[in-house]
Chains A and B, each alone.
Chain A
Amino acid sequence: MELERHTYDVVVVGAGGAGLRAAIEAHESGARTAVVCKSLLGKAHTVMAEGGIAAAMANLYPEDNWRVHFRDTMRGGKMLNHWRMAQLHAQEAPDRVRELEDWGALFDRTPDGLISQRDFGGHRYARLAHVGDRTGLELIRTLQQRTVALGIDVYMECTVTRLLTDEGGITGAFGYWRESGRFVAWQAPSVVLATGGIGKSYKVTSNSWEYTGDGHSLALQAGASLVNMEFVQFHPTGMVWPPSVRGILVTESVRGDGGILKNSAGNRFMFDYIPDFFRKETAETEAEADRWYDDKKNNRRPPELLPRDEVARAINSEVKAGRGTPHGGVFLDIASRRSAEYIRKRLPSMYHQFKELAEVDITAEPMEVGPTCHYVMGGVEVDPDTEAARVSGLFAAGEVAGGMHGSNRLGGNSLSDLLVFGRRAGAAAAEHARGRHGLELPDEALADAARAALAPFDREGGENPYTVQHDLQQTMHDLVGIIRTAPEMEQALERIAALKERVANLSVEGHRQYNPGWHLALDLPHMLVVSECIARAALERQESRGGHTRDDFPATDAEWAKTNLICTQAADGSVALTRQPLPQMPSDLAGIFEETA
């Protein structure tokens, strides 16, 4: 077997914000570091992030500090977040943003010359450091340029198909070059997973093809655990028309900058959907909501800026009640509320996106929007301080890691999550690698990985991977979507079992050179196992909370409020589900919720 081999201290899988930040930190900690990514460098899904990076820098509101940010994050996640992660995140985010400036990032400025911050759903103060509505691009480009400046090796268009382990933990990773189909093995005592999310298992999603849950699935296979996979965030505002762009993200900044939601009757319906949990901090009248943009002290926030799960459910209900737009969404209107010049300045890429893709001028007419699968809160269970998974030498950061966001993520907390925990994972991975040399990759394990990767070529007359993917997406969309019931999820699990058998019989045409059909055939098992985890956990959690809404259990439940659901891989390869108590926060942190409530 022809195989290219490399030796490193730390191999980072994924080159989005978390992966690059981890690689930079590992490199600066003295580790020989490589980044492996499925796309070209700089194309990772982080570029799609629009609104900003949440960090309590207090550049606009001196009242803001990490404790307020911590509180907002925990409340947004309906208190199911790992308290320690939320704490570290809130404390360290400002420094992570500032250091981006040292690497060349150019954020929008306040009149004092500091980094400007904008309003977002669930954040008490204007807190999101941003560059127009292309903050993710700024983040990835800055980290990319830093990575290149440091001379870190990057394996572009290279897919990891397996993590290699022995009884002591991680020994490396195995993958293939997408371009040539040739195999590569990296020998490394530390592997950082930063592979992002799972959105491609859903039909309507804001995620790109890369989001096939590779990291979740690789971690499971290596013996790590996933936490709270049932929590999938549906972003309230995705495009709904034309069909080919359905699901593409419409940034929350539209609402942060003054946009409102209306149904087909022209009503600003969000006032009808304010939950008790947020009633005290949400405006009751349109007048108060409108005053809030300029005077945050004496007014409460508009209901359009409730956390995403609330807004997504509200939109879903309006459409189901027959008050939707012609294309099955609701109206998002900023045209009638802000000047055309302001809109073009603050939301340039939204303007461009609607103009080019939907022939809608958002400075003159409302947008049609609806929920779209956006983010998975669940992920690899990690130690909050080091991002270490249950397997020695395995680390996870960013969307692939779980716990930080609880049952629902606030907008803007994702980019800061990438930076804070990417850095921590990189440092811990470098530390773990110290002194661990002379690992062996057994030929047998490599040969087995290669055999598995080539299997779809050996089968003839099997099914087309595109059809299977389509059926999986339809299943998840219809049966494990935004509103869930037990019978539907049971049905979904049956279908997933059937799909597993079909995946075992896929065949692909052509040869190994840049063959998308083959690539998809290798991604599908990941998508299936992750979908199974989501469906199983969602069936088990008999309550509604954050990104998990059960039609048959519509209320939150005090017992479930203290319970995490953990997925592992059983000896026979199936998904095993167990309950685990939620770590309890110390009393000084718990006090924060009383003082500011």
Chain B
Amino acid sequence: MSYDATFRVWRGNADGGDLQTFTVEVNEGEVVLDVIHRLQATQAGDLAVRWNCKAGKCGSCSAEINGRPRLMCMTRMSTFGEDETVTVTPMRAFPVVRDLVTDVSYNYDKAAQIPAFNPRQRDADGNHRMQQIDVERSQEFRKCIECFLCQDTCHVIRDHEENKKAFAGPRFLIRLAELDMHPLDVTDRKDAAQDEFGLGYCNITKCCSEVCPEGIHLTDNGIIPLKERVVDRKFDPLTFLGSKIRRRPKD
């Protein structure tokens, strides 16, 4: 059941590099990461690749396979023809460290800037009470494995390095949405979402939702609702007036 596949793998570092061609054995049931590991063990011992769980749970092995942002561990070789050349490159939105490994510190910097979770008081018996239907929306976003494929595919930063300063990227817009919908949280981040994290840069072209390996509906369930919440605050004259006339308690 095994065959020899042709792989083109980008090798190099910040100073430059190129696509190198390898012929490598592929066995039944394997994924791209298995093949990369075989290259490492047999032909290129120093081929740099970041990975951990190999089960689609940790989000480490993000790369671009035939131009599409994907997890290498979740891309089965059976999705390619045996005579098809498989091209593997590092994520193109981030600076490259070496070979398939990129410097994803942009994401960690943005994460640190988001105002932290801030819960209301516990009930008298020391518990927090929340209904399942109240937690489900935020739970969807907490499925995020931080593979940063959404960040990689988002044209706002992929095609415009200069926007990185003003735009936090889809992963952190849904983090803001998660906190804004969190039943316990009492901090308001709507103004920050628009002014500091660049919600307005998103033109909802939905590539983040397309590449999410966890199937999170980033745009429909996260970013658009967040945009609407910001409209409530900043662009809706009725609510604006209402908030001036009488201060309503936050839901």
Q: Does chain A touch chain B in the assembled complex, meaning CB atoms less than 8 Å apart? A: yes
With a CB–CB cut-off of 8 A, which chain A residues contact B129?
112-114
Is the CB of B104 closer than 8 A to any CB of chain A? yes
Q: Is the CB of B45 within 8 A of A349?
A: no
10 pairs, CB–CB < 8 Å, chain A vs chain B? A47-B58, A104-B185, A108-B135, A141-B142, A208-B54, A510-B45, A510-B46, A514-B97, A516-B47, A517-B46
Is the CB of A42 closer than 8 A to any CB of chain B? yes
CB distance from B115 to the nearest CB of A (A): 9
Is the CB of B139 closer than 8 A to any CB of chain A? yes
- Given that A141-B142, A208-B54, A509-B45 are contacting pairs, would A244 and B30 also be in contact in the complex, using a CB cutoff of 8 Å? yes
Q: Is the CB of B46 within 8 A of A515?
A: yes
For window 183-231 of A, CB contacts with B under 8 Å fall at 208-210
Q: Is the CB of A113 within 8 A of B130?
A: yes
With a CB–CB cut-off of 8 A, which chain B residues contact A517?
40, 45-46
With a CB–CB cut-off of 8 A, which chain B residues contact A174?
none
A94's nearest neighbour on chain B, judged by CB, is B126
Q: Is the CB of B98 within 8 A of A513?
A: yes
Q: How many Å lie between the Cα of A241 and that of B28 in the bound state?
A: 10
- Given that A106-B135, A208-B52, A208-B53 are contacting pairs, would A145 and B116 also be in contact in the complex, using a CB cutoff of 8 Å? yes
With a CB–CB cut-off of 8 A, which chain B residues contact A248?
54-55
Is the CB of A5 closer than 8 A to any CB of chain B? no
Q: Is the CB of B51 within 8 A of A209?
A: yes
Is the CB of A67 closer than 8 A to any CB of chain B? no
CB distance from A508 to the nearest CB of B (A): 6
Q: Is the CB of B46 within 8 A of A518?
A: yes
For window 38-78 of B, CB contacts with A under 8 Å fall at 40-41, 45-60, 74, 76
Q: How many Å lie between the Cα of A508 and that of B47 in the bound state?
A: 12
Is the CB of A102 closer than 8 A to any CB of chain B? yes
With a CB–CB cut-off of 8 A, which chain A residues contact B132?
108-109
- Among B27, B40, B146, max chain A CB count under 10 A is at B146
With a CB–CB cut-off of 8 A, which chain B residues contact A210?
52
With a CB–CB cut-off of 8 A, which chain A residues contact B40?
466, 516-517
With a CB–CB cut-off of 8 A, which chain A residues contact B138?
106
Given A114-B129, A353-B56: 5 more A-B contacts, CB < 8 Å: A102-B128, A104-B184, A137-B143, A210-B52, A356-B74
Q: Is the CB of B143 within 8 A of A134?
A: yes
B100's nearest neighbour on chain A, judged by CB, is A514
Is the CB of A29 closer than 8 A to any CB of chain B? no
Partner of B55, one of A98, A106, A113, A249: A249
Chain B positions 5 through 44: 1 when the CB is less than 8 Å from some CB of chain A, otherwise 0: 0000000010000000000000111110010000011000
Chain B positions 124 through 157: 1 when the CB is less than 8 Å from some CB of chain A, otherwise 0: 0011111110010011001111100000000000
Q: Is the CB of A40 within 8 A of B142?
A: no
Partner of B28, one of A48, A242, A465, A467: A242
Interface residues on A, range: 35 or more
Is the CB of B242 closer than 8 A to any CB of chain A? no
Is the CB of A464 closer than 8 A to any CB of chain B? yes
Q: How many Å lie between the Cα of A43 and that of B130 in the bound state?
A: 28
- Given that A109-B130, A109-B132, A356-B74 are contacting pairs, would A516 and B142 also be in contact in the complex, using a CB cutoff of 8 Å? no
Q: Is the CB of A356 within 8 A of B56?
A: yes
Taking Cβ atoms with an 8 Å cutoff, the residues of A that contact B are 39-43, 45, 47-48, 98, 101-104, 106-109, 112-115, 131-132, 134, 137-138, 141, 145-146, 148-149, 156, 179, 208-210, 241-245, 248-249, 349, 352-353, 356-358, 464-467, 470, 508-511, 513-518
Q: How many Å lie between the Cα of A509 and that of B119 in the bound state?
A: 52
Q: Is the CB of A243 within 8 A of B46?
A: no
Is the CB of B117 closer than 8 A to any CB of chain A? yes
Q: Is the CB of A42 within 8 A of B146?
A: yes
With a CB–CB cut-off of 8 A, which chain B residues contact A467?
41
CB distance from B47 to the nearest CB of A (A): 7
- Given that A108-B132, A113-B130, A244-B29 are contacting pairs, would A40 and B104 also be in contact in the complex, using a CB cutoff of 8 Å? yes
Q: How many Å lie between the Cα of A164 and that of B97 in the bound state?
A: 30
With a CB–CB cut-off of 8 A, which chain A residues contact B103?
179
CB distance from B5 to the nearest CB of A (A): 14
Partner of A148, one of B99, B112, B139: B112
Q: How many Å lie between the Cα of A113 and that of B138 in the bound state?
A: 16
For window 171-185 of B, CB contacts with A under 8 Å fall at 179, 182, 184-185
Q: Is the CB of B46 within 8 A of A148?
A: no
Closest 5 pairs (CB-CB, A-B): A242-B29, A510-B46, A113-B129, A149-B116, A104-B117
Q: Is the CB of A464 within 8 A of B45?
A: yes
Q: Is the CB of A103 within 8 A of B117?
A: yes
- Given that A101-B184, A466-B45, A514-B98 are contacting pairs, would A149 and B53 also be in contact in the complex, using a CB cutoff of 8 Å? no
Label chain B's interface by main secondary structure. Answer: loop
With a CB–CB cut-off of 8 A, which chain A residues contact B55?
48, 245, 248-249, 353, 357
Q: Is the CB of A39 within 8 A of B52?
A: yes
Q: Is the CB of A109 within 8 A of B54?
A: no
Is the CB of B192 closer than 8 A to any CB of chain A? no
CB distance from A82 to the nearest CB of B (A): 29
Q: How many Å lie between the Cα of A106 and that of B185 in the bound state?
A: 11
Q: How many Å lie between the Cα of A517 and that of B40 in the bound state?
A: 8
- Among A41, A115, A241, A244, max chain B CB count under 10 A is at A244
Q: Is the CB of B52 within 8 A of A43?
A: yes
Q: How many Å lie between the Cα of A249 and that of B55 in the bound state?
A: 9
Q: How many Å lie between the Cα of A131 and that of B31 in the bound state?
A: 28
B103's nearest neighbour on chain A, judged by CB, is A179
- Among B40, B108, B184, max chain A CB count under 10 A is at B108
With a CB–CB cut-off of 8 A, which chain A residues contact B112?
148
CB distance from A305 to the nearest CB of B (A): 24
A114's nearest neighbour on chain B, judged by CB, is B127
B107's nearest neighbour on chain A, judged by CB, is A40
- Among B34, B49, B122, B132, max chain A CB count under 10 A is at B132
CB distance from B33 to the nearest CB of A (A): 8
Is the CB of B101 closer than 8 A to any CB of chain A? yes
With a CB–CB cut-off of 8 A, which chain A residues contact B131?
109, 113
Partner of A513, one of B13, B122, B146, B184: B13
Q: How many Å lie between the Cα of A516 and that of B31 in the bound state?
A: 19
With a CB–CB cut-off of 8 A, which chain A residues contact B54?
208, 245, 248
- Given that A101-B128, A137-B145 are contacting pairs, would A244 and B117 also be in contact in the complex, using a CB cutoff of 8 Å? no
A149's nearest neighbour on chain B, judged by CB, is B116
With a CB–CB cut-off of 8 A, which chain A residues contact B74?
356-357
Q: Is the CB of B52 within 8 A of A243?
A: no
CB distance from B30 to the nearest CB of A (A): 5
Q: Is the CB of A244 within 8 A of B116?
A: no
- Among B49, B57, B131, B215, max chain A CB count under 10 A is at B57
CB distance from B88 to the nearest CB of A (A): 15
A113's nearest neighbour on chain B, judged by CB, is B129
Q: Is the CB of B117 within 8 A of A145?
A: yes
- Given that A114-B127, A464-B45, A514-B101 are contacting pairs, would A47 and B116 also be in contact in the complex, using a CB cutoff of 8 Å? no
Q: Is the CB of B119 within 8 A of A102?
A: yes
With a CB–CB cut-off of 8 A, which chain A residues contact B49?
516
A507's nearest neighbour on chain B, judged by CB, is B45
